[in-house]
């Protein structure tokens, strides 16, 4: 695994180019102001983990920022435990694990206040000939943004992420087998100011740290599990939002460690615990008039809103895998859990998968309640945009809204397991048209790998149930 650099001038469809000397000098001045000595740079992998390198600030300015840095294509061939997934055509022994190139996107560079003297920058990833890496999640989202722009729309999103905090370390949690962990606060105390005050040292540090590195936080509160917290990230264009969420999740884990706590974004941390969601609030603007809400029709939802709604509903079974990408994701999604089980929509209805809020133009939006906190934000937002464009392009009409409890009403059931979600994704047509066969086949293979590792593992539930009885 070498550390050579390669100059890349372009990225098909996304124009990743060499930064100007003036832009480099702007970054240098920022480094001087904030006394930056070290730069972290990386990319989101298939699971949304940020993988990359640390380098001295001067080396970053003189080399990496200008020419990029090579890294083996295995970066898209590991699972989240760094086990080799030997099931791909893009990455595998047959490729010799050749290089791809990380090209810093200097628009994402920022000091990270929870790491003194360090800055962070996200990268695009290209092949050594400058062509796009078709399995890169950030590339997939950029392409959906470009598709939307060609139709005259721009998409914005806000992200509401739930996670758990434990009074544990990585080592102590592993020693306990990730069971019977001590929550940061005891008992369920949703929206409790008292419980929130007990966590304010760490949650306040998260809010202030994020604000200081251009990740605006709107609010934080305790949630429906012991030690569970929700923090809401202000809306922005979908690429900026995905970048913010990726940096945020890394930051939350690190700030928690600095306060003697352990954070988990797992969708369902324990059988008896509430699941952790990633609710996505979506709005759409006309590209020619960014101040105009394309979802608003003067006195209520516009025809565009209805088309977007219909597109997201029609594609929801096929795109479930992008919202719920792990075996564990489906433990969260059961009736009566605040997590949807059917493709249904309602007006200000939190039992439905899509919640329409349309009281006034400024706040008119749609909330997608299907994604879990374990979703890759680039792929979840890609699914939102691609399915919305599917509805717009085909002028779809939504079914009637559900009224009351969506769990008690018939509807189009969503996949209830990773296996079922894989079948829907692979056999569908909307994802292949939006993302291309290369990505669909690669991502589906990675999910089959995930499913099969689970099938082969003997778990605590099986031992407790069967060890002495069969």
pLDDT band at 3 (very low <50, low <70, confident <90, very high): very low
Query: Across the chain, what does the average pLDDT equal?
Result: 92
- The hierarchical CATH code for the domain 143-467 is 3.30.590.10
418-433: average pLDDT: 97
Predicted local confidence at residue 14, as pLDDT:
44
Give per-residue pLDDT as tens, 259-291: 999 999 999 999 989 999 999 999 999 988 888
Which residues of the chain form CATH 3.10.20.70? 21-133
Predicted local confidence at residue 19, as pLDDT:
85
Predicted local confidence at residue 91, as pLDDT:
80
pLDDT band at 4 (very low <50, low <70, confident <90, very high): very low
Would you say residue 1 has pLDDT above 60? no
Would you say residue 24 has pLDDT above 90? yes
CA nearest neighbour of 385 among 420, 351, 424, 431: 431
Is residue 93 within a helix (H) or strand (E), and if so which, with residue range? Answer: none
**C-alpha span between 23 and 31 (Å, rounded):** 13
Would you say residue 398 has pLDDT above 60? yes
More confident residue, 356 or 95: 356
**pLDDT above 90 as % of the chain:** 81
92-121: average pLDDT: 93
Would you say residue 162 has pLDDT above 90? yes
pLDDT band at 17 (very low <50, low <70, confident <90, very high): low
Which residues of the chain form CATH 3.30.590.10? 143-467
Q: What's 395's DSSP letter? A: T
Predicted local confidence at residue 380, as pLDDT:
98
Give per-residue pLDDT as tens, 357-379: 998 888 999 999 999 999 999 99
Strands (E), 11-133: 38-44, 50-56, 69-72, 99-104, 110-111, 118-127
Would you say residue 332 has pLDDT above 90? yes
Predicted local confidence at residue 15, as pLDDT:
47
Strands 217-222 and 153-166: unpaired
Rounded alpha-carbon distances, angstroms, from residue 457 to 144, 451, 460, 463: 37, 10, 10, 11
Predicted local confidence at residue 173, as pLDDT:
94
24-41: average pLDDT: 96
- The hierarchical CATH code for the domain 21-133 is 3.10.20.70
98-111: average pLDDT: 95
């Amino acid at each position: 695994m070498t550390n050579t650099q390669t100059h890349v001038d372009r990225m098909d469809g996304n124009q990743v180019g060499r930064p100007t000397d003036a832009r480099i000098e702007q970054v240098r001045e920022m480094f001087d102001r904030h006394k930056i000595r070290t730069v972290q740079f990386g990319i989101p992998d298939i699971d949304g983990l940020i993988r990359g390198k640390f380098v001295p600030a001067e080396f970053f300015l003189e080399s990496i920022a200008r020419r990029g840095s090579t890294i083996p294509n295995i970066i898209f061939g590991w699972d989240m435990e760094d086990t080799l997934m030997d099931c791909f055509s893009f990455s595998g022994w047959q490729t010799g694990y050749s290089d791809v190139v990380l090209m810093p996107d200097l628009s994402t560079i920022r000091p990270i206040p929870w790491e003194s003297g360090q800055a962070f920058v996200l990268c695009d990833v290209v092949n050594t000939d400058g062509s796009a890496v078709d399995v890169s999640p950030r590339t997939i989202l950029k392409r959906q943004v470009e598709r939307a722009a060609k139709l005259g729309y721009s998409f914005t999103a806000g992200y509401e992420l739930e996670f758990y905090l434990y009074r544990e370390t990585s080592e102590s949690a592993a020693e306990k087998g990730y069971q019977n962990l001590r929550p940061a606060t005891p008992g369920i105390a949703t929206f409790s100011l008292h419980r929130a005050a007990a966590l304010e040292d760490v949650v306040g540090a998260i809010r202030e740290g994020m604000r200081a590195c251009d990740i605006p936080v709107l609010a934080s509160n305790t949630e429906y599990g012991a030690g569970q917290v929700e923090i809401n990230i202000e809306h922005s264009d979908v690429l900026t939002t995905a970048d913010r969420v990726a940096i945020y999740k890394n930051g939350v884990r690190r700030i928690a460690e600095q306060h003697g706590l352990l954070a988990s974004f797992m969708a369902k941390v324990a059988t008896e615990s509430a699941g952790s969601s990633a609710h996505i609030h979506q709005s759409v603007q006309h590209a020619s008039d960014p101040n105009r809400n394309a979802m608003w029709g003067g006195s209520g939802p516009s025809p565009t809103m209805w088309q977007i709604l219909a597109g997201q509903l029609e594609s929801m079974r096929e795109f479930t895998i992008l919202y719920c990408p792990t075996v564990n994701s489906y433990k969260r999604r059961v009736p009566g859990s605040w997590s949807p089980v059917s493709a249904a929509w309602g007006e200000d209805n939190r039992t439905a998968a899509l919640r329409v809020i349309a009281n006034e133009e400024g706040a008119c939006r749609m909330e997608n309640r299907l994604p879990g906190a374990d979703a890759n934000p680039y792929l979840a937002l890609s699914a939102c945009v691609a399915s919305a464009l599917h509805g717009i392009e085909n002028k779809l009409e939504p079914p009637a809204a559900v009224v009351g409890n969506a769990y008690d009403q018939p509807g189009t059931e969503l996949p209830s397991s990773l296996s079922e979600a894989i079948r829907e994704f692979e056999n569908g047509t909307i994802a292949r048209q939006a993302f291309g066969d290369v990505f669909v086949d690669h991502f589906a293979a990675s999910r089959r790998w995930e499913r099969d590792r689970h099938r082969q593992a003997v778990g605590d539930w099986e031992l407790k149930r069967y060890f002495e009885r069969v």
